[in-house]
Amino acid sequence: MPYGVGMDQRPVVLITGASAGLGEEMARQFAALGYDLALCARRIDRLEKLRDELPDRRVLVKRLDVTDDDAVFAVFQQFADEFGQIDRVVVNAGLGKGAPLGTGRFDANRATAMVNFVGALTQTEAALQIFRAQGRGHLVMISSMSALRGMRKSMTTYAATKAGVAAIAEGVRSERIPGVDVSVVYPGYIRSEMNEHVTQKTKFIVETPVGVRAMVKAIEKRRVKAYVPAWPWVPIGVAMRLLPLSIVRKMV
């Protein structure tokens, strides 16, 4: 149980992008661990359905587009006010659009940059305002294994945004804000709504519950940095950082 939580108060985790994929499954698994949930995403109908599936926990849901700066600050603070505390914020909302640069799809690349990086920055600002006021909290940033090196074609912008997310996490951790822990999670290939078009033959891909279980385990341990699932992504992560780009592009 996170520190600072009273015996009469269950810990609260706030998850963005919780209407599908990794965020939805994290909500289920954190609920099973005894957390109350503050869930937000654009699709409020899916959040309400998820809330109804978790009757044994206090679950509050709110519609949120993370590119709406004012709404991010307002929704996070509303959750903090309604629960009386937020123990952990998982910056998870993401977008997987993209196209090779210079091919006329700047709109797709810009949308991904705004959601994945600028949206993550806004969420971090809002979370840390709450944590500084509380004197404690756990900030979790969901990055990607693709963040470890520059990626080609449609992955270029996505990988760059996820590298930016990891850099934000490292910068906040370097500040050493009293009472605040910071974790960055680098998922490998975990099946989700974002990659549902990928064939089952993709190397190393695991189903959502399996991959998220590894994510939640790392988060619960407050790991500073976690490649998940550990096999095969820990050794792949080492290789990606050390090998020439010409070899890396064949690996992932």
- In this predicted structure, the answer to whether residue 205 has a pLDDT above a threshold of 80 is yes
Q: Number of folded domains in the chain?
A: 1
Report the C-alpha gap between 108 and 126 in whole angstroms: 26
Contact 240, 145 (CB under 8 A): yes
Q: pLDDT per residue over 17-42, tens digit each?
A: 999 999 999 999 999 999 999 999 99
Catalytic residue among 35, 158, 186, 189: 158
What is the per-residue pLDDT for 203? 73
Task: Answer yes or no: is 89 within a domain.
Answer: yes
The mean pLDDT of 171-200, rounded to a whole number, is: 84
Task: Answer yes or no: is 87 within a domain.
Answer: yes
Q: pLDDT per residue over 89-138, tens digit each?
A: 999 999 999 999 999 999 999 999 999 999 999 999 999 999 999 999 99
Task: Answer yes or no: is 34 within a domain.
Answer: yes
pTM: 0.92
Read off the DSSP letter of residue 102: T
Across 7-42, b (16+ Cβ under 10 Å) vs e yields eeebbbbbbbbbbbbbbbbbbbbbbeeebbbbbbbe
Task: Report the CATH number at residue 203.
Answer: 3.40.50.720
Task: Answer yes or no: is 131 within a domain.
Answer: yes
Domain range for residue 63?
12-251
Contact 59, 46 (CB under 8 A): no
Confirm whether 189 is a catalytic residue.
no
Task: Answer yes or no: is 97 within a domain.
Answer: yes
Task: Answer yes or no: is 82 within a domain.
Answer: yes
